[in-house]
Structure 1
Amino acid sequence: MLLEYGVKNFFCFYEGVNVSFKLPANCPDNISMGNDISNILCLKGKNGSGKTNLLKGLSFLGEFCTNSFSYKPDEKIILENFYNNNEDTEFYIEFRVDNITYIYELTLNKEHVVKETLFRKERRKSKIIERDGDRFSLLTSEFSQLKNIKLRKNASFISIANQYDFDELEALTIVYMFFNSIISNVIHIGLSEWSPSIDVVSEMYFHDPDMLEFAKNIIIACDTGISNIEILKKKDSNDEERFIPVFTHTVKGINKKILFQTESSGTKSLFIQLAKYKCILDIGGILCLDEFDINLHPHILPVLLSLFLDKKTNTNQSQIIFTTHNSEIIDFLGRYRTYIVEKTENESFAYRLDEISGDILRNDRPILPIYNSGKIGGVPKL
């Protein structure tokens, strides 16, 4: 599970900013459900405050730690710091796998990795791997095989090591798999609404009937007028296989079948996004979604979030972090699962609602009226 992560000198965040899923001891039982880590976090804020950039930090870590080996040796790292200054960018992430906590720190710039450090915490926190530039400055005996790999200036040692067939690096494989379990609709330039493509999603549904049934049941329950969804496999003019989703609407007792292109924007969004939800729920990963409610009615949002709150649907402790401009969701989530992202003089910062001092926010009082009044930030001053 993801415990927390942070960035420094990354896009509009110059000073360090931290996002934590950790719940305090005084968190109400109806929120914590006996857990010390939340399965849900929401980022709220006005347009241009930096919400998407905060998600980009998590998305970047997932991509860099798993896929940077595929970069060309002299390729620059796709990275943006605070208004193109000359300082390095820093990342921090803490996560837990099988009751063992790992902490990963990364310092880099567009040209090269400056430093990477991996800690492991069981009884106490111990540094197990450290990289300085193009060499390992520390390898515990458990990871001595890593001295045989050639580091590349634009790639993480986690991504590089995954290319080798080492016998005794199970712990590093666990770390790689954690980063590989981050699924996001955010890329370097921002929201990628229709990623993956309808063709890719349709093929996934075709080969995974459970995934299709999962998506179909939710789409039908959301009162879209659809009574069935099926995926047809056909060959195009180039004799290549195509997977075509067909949606059935029952009209006056007669079944009418229409194609994806004719469906509403909300149905299209659900059809594509629900494949990500099912993948995350199956693997126990982290779903990172910008504008997760795009084209969706506000009443549908709690249905989607409840997938992560219900132990029957979330058996693997999957998590979701998302942005939304829907404000009603604040009272559904409460102050322990809601972050406000703000910006002053074009520099962003963030805070969780339970960090606000005083009694302006209480567990027995709605948050939405206070939020709308602008007293706790996150709304534009018009």
Structure 2
Amino acid sequence: MLLRFRVANMRSLRDEQELSFVPPPGEESGAASTLTLSDGKDLAVFPVLGIFGGNASGKSNVIAAMSKMRDAVVSSYGEWTSYDGIPREPFALDPKCAAESTFYEADFVLDDGVRWTYGFELSDRRVDAEWLHAYPHGRRQVWFDRDVSRERVFEFRGDRLQDRALLARTTRSNALLLTRAANDNHPQLTPLHRWFVDNLWDITPEAERLQREAFTIEQLLEEENRERIEELLRVADLGISEARAEVRSGQRPTVQLLHSTGEGEPVALDWTRESFGTRSWFAMLGPVLTALDRGAVLLIDELDASLHPKFAAEVVRLFQTPSVNTHRAQLVFTSHAPSLLSLPRGGRLLDPGQIWLTEKDAGGGTELYPLADVEPGEEEDLTDSYLAGAFGGVPRMTPGKIGRSLRLKDALRDAEEADES
């Protein structure tokens, strides 16, 4: 499970920002699950975090940063070259940031209960720093530490890590040691590399929908998955009673959804005639169910972009329900929809510690903070307070401001034209 993620100098995330799945001190949450660590201690961890904020506030960049860290771990050894340099996007509004490194760090727990901290810093042509720490007994163990500012770049504490000299000698300056080790199936480091391969999947409902539709269709071909997908289509109240998938050699997989008519046999519509919302919901089901089955961390940017708020809330509930989420999968999503903050009949879909807000500071940098820091009242309507701007994270705009600005611009233009005539 992912505990914390930190990033700095990536797109609008100029200063170091942290996203935490661990409830803040003093917050009792029924949404958090209990994770037993290898040292015997229990730790509460949220299964879902939602990031809310105005347009261009940087919430999508948090998702992008997590995905970029995964990409670096997965591909630095095979795809990064000295000719092309290291792919990164430093903060663009301050020229000094181009010369500063981009920072990533993740705290996570593997299946054996051991907590790990792994991170690195990247410049345009090299890995400036990289580190790996373990906490098998509650205290930090430094497995390796890399720093190009030292004469001896790689340091290994004790004799925990196998093949230390070989790894130090064969890891390129523009590749991560973790990726290099996994390339040779290093017995100790490959499971850590595998965690990144199997987690931090980034999807956007409105992008790559055809690929996700095809993926969900393939899931339909398996009996167990077909029953679950059909059930989720039925409970979404789309009038769908059955889904039929077909895969032909050399062709794109196809699907037909059978719609109940109330009388007689269900009617199958051509896939192109299905509504955008139905297709978006269908395309979401494959990745969501796969993440739940594998206990993965799923990243969804703009969850509500092409889904009705009720559908988006159902995705959240799938991860929040222990009887469904039996493998401790986690979800991070961004949204504009304040309806995801409160339930229609009162209550809250997410606890304050699960709600994160983004705002731009005076220099254009994104600030990321949990709603728990604002300390909302226990009975406070989070939707109303959020829309009123009590928590931040919403555009600073009074009703009618855009219209008034347009009318003023038109009036000024008319006055200029009158003066010229």
TM-score normalised to structure 2 length: 0.82
- Per mean C-alpha deviation after superposition, the further-off stretch among 38-47 and 87-96 is 87-96
Partner of 1:296: 307
**Equivalence for 2:28:** 28
8 Å CA contact retained: 1:185, 1:191: no
3-state DSSP of counterpart to 1:328 = helix
Q: Distance in 2 between matches of 1:108 and 1:277?
A: 32
1:111–1:154 CA contact under 8 A, matched in 2: yes
Distance 1:165 1:323, change over 3 A: closer
Candidates 136, 158, 162, aligned match of 1:144: 162
Contact 1:55 1:288 in 2 (8 A): yes
Q: Give the unaligned 5+ runs of structure 1.
A: none
Counting only pairs closer than 5 Å after superposition, residues 1-382 of structure 1 correspond to structure 2 as 1-32=1-32, 36-74=44-82, 75-83=84-92, 85-97=98-110, 98-122=112-136, 123-133=138-148, 136-138=154-156, 140-149=158-167, 150-166=170-186, 169-170=187-188, 172-185=189-202, 193-194=207-208, 197-198=211-212, 200-202=214-216, 204-235=218-249, 240-251=250-261, 252-331=263-342, 332-345=349-362, 346-356=364-374, 361-382=376-397
> Cα–Cα, structure 1 residues 108 and 312, in superposed 2: closer, same or farther, change >3 Å?
same
Q: Distance in 2 between matches of 1:146 and 1:272?
A: 45
- Cα separation, 2, equivalents of 1:103 and 1:198: 32
CA distance change for structure 1 residues 69 and 262 in 2, over 3 Å: closer, same or farther? Answer: farther
Give 1:121's aligned amino acid.
Y
Structure 1 residue ranges (4+ consecutive) displaced by more than 4 angstroms after TM superposition: none
Structure 1, 203-212 or 307-316: larger mean CA deviation: 203-212
The alpha-carbon deviation at position 24 of structure 1 amounts to 3.2
Classify the secondary structure of the residue corresponding to 1:162. helix
Gaps of 5+ in 2: 35-42, 343-348, 398-421
- State the 1:207 CA deviation: 4.8
Sort the Cα spacing of 1:203 and 1:160 in 2 relative to 1 into closer, same or farther, 3 A: farther
> Structure 2: which amino acid aligns with 1:351?
Y
Q: 1:192 to 1:265 in 2, by over 3 A?
A: closer
Larger Rg computed on CA atoms: 2
Q: Deviations over 1:211-247 (max 9, x none)?
A: 3332221122101121111111224xxxx24421111
Paired with 2:324 and 2:274, the residues of 1 have a C-alpha distance of 27
- Alpha-carbon separation, structure 1, partners of 2:277 and 2:384: 28
Offset at residue 300 of structure 1 (A) = 1.9
Counterpart Cα distance in 2 of 1:33 and 1:180: 24
Deviation, 1:372, is: 1.2
Preserved contact between residue 7 and residue 102 of structure 2 (Cα < 8 Å)? yes
For 2:85, give the aligned amino acid.
K
Question: What SS does the aligned partner of 1:94 have?
Answer: strand
Tell which deviates more after alignment, 222-231 or 63-72: 63-72
Contact kept, 8 Å, 2:115 with 2:135, in 1: the verdict is yes
Residues of 1 paired with 2:350 and 2:264: CA distance?
Answer: 40
Change (3 A) 1:260 1:129: farther
* Deviation at residue 203 of structure 1 after TM alignment: 5.5
User: Aligned partners of 1:177 and 1:162: how far apart in 2?
Assistant: 8
Q: Distance in 1 between matches of 2:155 and 2:206?
A: 38
Query: Which amino acid counterpart does residue 105 of structure 2 have in structure 1?
Result: Y
> TM-score w.r.t. structure 1 length?
0.89
Q: Which structure's residues are more often strand, by fraction?
A: 1
| Residue pair 2:205, 2:306 contacting (<8 A) in 1 also | no
Q: How far apart, in 2, do the equivalents of 1:317 and 1:290 lie?
A: 20
Counterpart of 2:66, as a letter, is L
Shift in alpha-carbon separation, 1:80–1:130, aligned structure 2, 3 A? same
Mark the CA change 1:260 to 1:161 in structure 2 (over 3 Å): closer, same or farther.
farther
RMSD over aligned Cα atoms: 2.2
Query: 1:196 Cα shift?
Result: 6.6
Deviations 1:74-112 (A, max 9, x none): 332221011162111111211112221100121002322
Q: Deviations over 1:99-157 (max 9, x none)?
A: 21100121002322111100001220111022335953326423232432421333322
Shift of the alpha carbon at 1:165? Answer: 3.5
For residues 257 and 153 of structure 1, do their structure 2 counterparts lie closer, same or farther at Cα, with a shift above 3 Å needed? Answer: farther
